[in-house]
Structure formats: C-alpha cells, structure tokens
Amino acid sequence: MTLIVGLGNPGPEYAGTRHNFGFMVVNELARRWAIATDTSKFHGRFGSGAFAGRKVALLKPATFMNRSGQAVIDAVNFYKLEPGQILVVLDDLDLPVGRLRLRVRGSGGGHKGLTDVLSRLGTDQVPRLRCGIGSPPPMIDPAEYVLAKFFAEERDLVEKAIRDAADAIEVAIRDGFPRAMDRFNRTEEDTETKPTS
C-alpha cells in the first residue's frame, strides 16, 4: 500500500487557501481514482482503492496543520506501514507557484505540518511532494499569507500545478520515485536548455 497524505486545515473557511494545497492534490487523486474520502478515520478524512494494480489510500488530516502527525501515525500503525510507503503532499513558500519538488527524505524545512509528521514517525526517511505556493509580498505576514486564497491571476497556474502534482504521484507509484523526480523536479529553465535528441 501507498498512503498519500495531503496536509491542510479542515473546515470550509480554509478551503482553497495556499496552506491547503495538499488537500487539493488529494482531492484530484480521489477524483481520478474514484475514491471517496468521506470516511472519518485516523483523525481525518480517509478513503482507499487501487491505482496501477496497487493498493492506495488517501488521507486528509482533520487535526489542523501543526498536529498532522497524529493522523499519519494512526494510519501507519493500523496498516503497519514503513516510512517509504508514505507520501506527504504539502505547500512550500520557497517554491514559485506551479513548481514541484519530490524528495524521498529530508527535514521538515520549516513546514510545521511536515515537521510534526516526521517527529511522530521518528524518522526523516519519509517521501514528500512539495508544491510551490510562492513567497508572500513585502509587508505581508507569512502566517497570514498561507491562510489566504490564491490571487485570481494565479488560478490557471494553480489548477495546472494540482494536475501536475497528481501526475507526479502516479508516476512515482507506477514507475518509482527516481523516474518521477527526474521528470517533475525540473525547472522551466532545465526544460528549455535540455538538449533534444
């Protein structure tokens, strides 16, 4: 099984905010894979199904961002998963909107949700997909910025990024993380300067 955990905050007031990018990606996967994530389980909204002949599960913690690890550890203990069977999807202030960065290990990088997950699991060997939400404009508190909705001019880019993130997860599950990282961690500059064969 692969457990895909989208990080975010529960409640309609947080829907569509930058900090809920992980939820948006899980919603896209749920749509593609025809998985209902309406079961209240593991301190979150949960659903399971299959993709590419493999069992997959989707989880959106309802514990609020800073305690996301509670939902993850509950699911991990129930299914007896190894850290490598988890994929955490989260927002990233340090990446431009539309950019993705897939990694199989590393620190929380200042993201409180991911940091809590790693702390509860007791390891940094947890795959994660960081989705860029852009840096806050000058004089805007980052804490307020991540809880705000995307600007109107960003919406097309955000919708594409959600699709790209779901694509990256599908490639990672089907073909492995190295293939997915090689394809989706590239910048526009990498793509433009890559020699054609």
Q: Is the pLDDT of residue 21 over 90?
A: yes
- What confidence tier does 187 reach under pLDDT thresholds 50, 70, 90? low
Q: Is the pLDDT of residue 15 over 60?
A: yes
Per the DSSP assignment, residues forming a β-bridge with 41 are 44
pLDDT, tens digit, for every residue of 104-119?
Answer: 999 998 899 999 999 9
Q: Is the pLDDT of residue 197 over 80?
A: no
Contact 130, 101 (CB under 8 A): yes
Contact 43, 70 (CB under 8 A): yes
Over the chain, what is the mean pLDDT? Answer: 93
CB neighbours of 124 closer than 8 A, spacing ≥ 6? 105, 106, 107, 118
**Domains of the chain and CATH, by start:** 2-193 (3.40.50.1470)
pLDDT of residue 190: 43
pTM for the structure as a whole: 0.92
pLDDT of residue 51: 97
Distance from C-alpha of 116 to C-alpha of 113, rounded to nearest angstrom: 5
pLDDT of residue 195: 39
Catalytic one among 19, 43, 111, 130? 19
- What confidence tier does 186 reach under pLDDT thresholds 50, 70, 90? confident
Q: Is residue 19 annotated as a catalytic residue, yes or no?
A: yes
